[in-house]
Amino acid sequence: MCCSSLLRPFAPSAMPNRKGARNAYYFFVLEKLPELKRRGLAVTGVRDAIPFCSDDWAMLTEEQKEKYAEMARQRKAKKSDVATKEPPRQVPAPLPTFPSTQTEKRVSAPNLIGPPGKSDKVVLETTFFYLNIFSHGVLPSHCKQRFLPCEIGCVKYSLKDGIIAEFHHFLDPGEVPRGFRFHCQTASDATHRIPLSGFELVTANHSVVLRELYSFIQPRWGAWPPVYCKSSDQFRVNWCLQHMAREVGTVNNLESLCVEDLVVELYYQKLQKEPSKAWVCNSLDASMWDYSSNTRCKWHEENDVVFCALATCKKIAYCISNSLANMYCVQLTASHLPLSEKDSQSTANPKMVVLDAGRFQKMRAAERTGNERYFQSLNEELGAASCTGQHPSGVKTTGETTTRRGRGIARFLESVSKQSSS
């Protein structure tokens, strides 16, 4: 089908209107749905199928169109008969509204760790689980199997102790649906690069993986704790957990929540104010730890692949430590941040190539980020951003700047100039 047919506006008489009316064109598209699905097109309903049926509709004669017009008239007559027989519905009286307090107005983030104002000690000692599951691509919505899970990673974390334990397995994705092998292989090559089949590190039995995962998380006070992942990964993680439990014949005990809401809640516990969701998402998407040691699993580290399920969980822990350590007066350790990064929060992105390193570092030391200015007002107002007395090792306040020596050609030229002067 040519592109012009897709871009051509449809005739008003051929399109179903927004009020739910079912005209002749609607019933024609409804009849064509099974054929479109057999052709492999990603259509789930009439709305998705409309662009693919305009040419066929235009080729029908008026007599052929009359068939579908009669179907529309019959449905309209039947609907009007039902409406006349139904008794008028009694509209309930509106509920009275009451002035809500500041706490009741907070509906953007769920109360994930208890009531506001909980003591810092309780917040610091609360453990969280960050989980992610990778797949060989995403299959279309009309497929029964949407994902082929191939890797799972999870870390146990607290603000006080940092990363306490980690869990990692390569999963058996099962049989690739017919016709999608190239699609899945392409998605794998572009991200985690895990082989589609014949991978020797795969744990064949999903029951073993689930049993070890449940043992790793363990219920608290008779209830299973939630696991957290990024909102962009939540649908995939939930689907894969349900899929694995269904294959084993058991019930999925885990519920995944958005880690963005958790970060907002942690800020609110301390400052009684919320950061913007955009700032939280940008903080969690930081790539400065992509190549840090002891972040990826052994296989991804040896093959120099950035995309790793375990690494995504660890980087969430790093970002939370980096953002909240100063506020909660946490002494940063190697469990909070990688060894090479815990002495500075101003680490440059390793993917960025800087030729004039000396001038770049002076600019970095002189500038103050928008995030620091944003939270300085909150910290100054409530006095909760830093500890009294000396600051913990590895924690930088918003007013401090750090300078770091360059490397590569800048350091080489510096050493050469020193040798020539001596």
Query: How confident is the model over 208-231, as a mean pLDDT?
Result: 90
**Domain spanning 3-83: CATH 1.10.1740.10:** no
pLDDT tens, position by position, 129-161: 999 999 999 998 888 889 999 999 999 999 999
pLDDT of the residue at 368: 43
Give which of 126, 116, 43, 84 is closest to 274, Cα–Cα: 116
Query: How confident is the model over 234-251, as a mean pLDDT?
Result: 93
CA distance 21 to 17: 6
pLDDT tops 50 at residue 5: no
- The token pair at 294 is 């002891």
Assign 3-class secondary structure to 266-322.
Answer: HHHHHHCCCCCHHHHHHHHCCCCCCCCCCCCCHHHHHCCCCCCHHHHHHHHHHHHHH
- Residues in a beta bridge with 165: 156
Helix (H, G, I), strand (E, B) or coil at 128: strand
pLDDT tops 50 at residue 323: yes
CA distance 112 to 307: 28
pLDDT tops 70 at residue 85: no
Computed over every residue of the chain, the mean pLDDT equals: 75
Q: What kind of fold does domain 120-344 have according to CATH?
A: Nucleotidyltransferase; domain 5 (3.30.420)
pLDDT of the residue at 412: 63
pLDDT of the residue at 71: 85
pLDDT of the residue at 82: 60
Query: How confident is the model over 54-83, as a mean pLDDT?
Result: 80
Q: Do domains 3-83 and 120-344 have the same CATH topology?
A: no
pLDDT tops 70 at residue 315: yes
- DSSP-H helix ranges across 86-180: 120-125
Residue 282 C-alpha from the chain's centroid: 12
pLDDT tens, position by position, 13-63: 444 444 456 788 888 888 888 888 877 777 788 888 888 888 888 888 888
Domains in the chain: boundaries = 3-83, 120-344
pLDDT tens, position by position, 103-123: 333 333 445 565 555 578 889
pLDDT tens, position by position, 382-418: 444 344 444 333 333 333 434 444 455 656 666 666 6
Helix (H, G, I), strand (E, B) or coil at 5: helix
**Residues 26/46, Cβ–Cβ less than 8 Å:** yes
Backbone angles phi and psi of 327, in degrees to 5? -70, -40
